[in-house]
Structure 1
Amino acid sequence: MIDLKVHEVRPFVGARDFAESKAFYQALGWEIEYEDDSLALLANADYCFYLQNHYAKEWVENTMLHVAVADARACYEQVKALLDSGRFPDARVAEPKEEPYGALVTYVWDPAGVLLHLAEWLPDGQKAA
């Protein structure tokens, strides 16, 4: 077996409107660490991904990012308030849902259709309140 000695994975995510997607992720707490006309490196804590100024509908609408969070319900309330402001009319959020793999998940669709899983891991055997 090949030992790649992986120490980081940074997915590439597409954007229909690059400026709008950058603003959306910044509103969610991501910071731009690098950007040019075609690429932005977005970071939150020690976690990063690349946002591309490229849109292919089938690819973007099938992209999903799993983001572990401390409180999925609080995330829902904060994202809902952001979207209720009307600032990102194409973005959506769904109420938290308990998934069989042990997480309470708030699903968020960014303005291009990328699906974020804001997942709070539940202690073994615990149900979400």
Structure 2
Amino acid sequence: MMHPAKSIRTFIGAKDYAESIRFYEVLGFDVLSVSPDMSVVFVKENISFYLQDAYLKPWCENSMIFLEIESDLESYWEAIKVLGLPDKFPGTKLSSIHYNDWGNEFFLHDPAGNLWHFGIFK
């Protein structure tokens, strides 16, 4: 069956909602409040997710999002690295680029422990 889908959005939690909003703004995403305890976060026009003022450690620390990059992962990694997110937001971690048979990726943990995979497929 073909689904008439237009977009898909995941929901992720925030340990400190205000801090997570600032984190995603510094990362360069646009954050739009939709209620006092939820925002939609736009990576770009048709790529977004929901950020909730809700925290369950096992949920957040097991949530993963893969953002496929169009090209030049190395330049994108450099642009994120210079933001100094681990220095500005305790608990955040940025990895180096991992080179794999299927493609390349790097990882970024947000302040609540949600794990982002930024990658490119071969």
Which secondary structure state, in structure 1, belongs to the residue aligned with residue 83 of structure 2?
Answer: helix
> What is the TM-score with the length of structure 2 in the denominator?
0.87
Residue 38 of structure 1 corresponds to 37
Of the structure 1 ranges 5-14 and 56-65, higher mean CA displacement relative to structure 2 is found in: 5-14
Which secondary structure state, in structure 2, belongs to the residue aligned with residue 54 of structure 1?
Answer: coil
CA distance in 1, matches of 2:100, 2:25: 27
Identity %: 29
Residue 110 of structure 2 corresponds to 110
Residue 52 of structure 1 corresponds to 52
CA shift at 1:89, angstroms?
Answer: 2.3
CA distance in 2, matches of 1:71, 1:34: 31
What aligned pairs does 1:58-69 form with structure 2 within 5 A after superposition? 58-69=58-69
Which secondary structure state, in structure 1, belongs to the residue aligned with residue 48 of structure 2?
Answer: strand
Which runs of structure 1 show a deviation greater than 6 angstroms over 4 or more consecutive aligned residues? none
Give the CA RMSD over aligned residues: 1.8
CA distance in 2, matches of 1:114, 1:60: 5
In terms of Rg, which structure is larger? Answer: 1
Gaps of 5+ in 1: 123-129
Of the structure 1 ranges 18-27 and 80-89, higher mean CA displacement relative to structure 2 is found in: 80-89
| Alignment coverage as a number of residue pairs | 120
Is the CA contact (8 Å cut-off) linking 2:85 and 2:92 kept in structure 1?
no
> What is the TM-score with the length of structure 1 in the denominator?
0.83
CA shift at 1:36, angstroms?
Answer: 2.5
Is the CA contact (8 Å cut-off) linking 1:75 and 1:106 kept in structure 2?
no
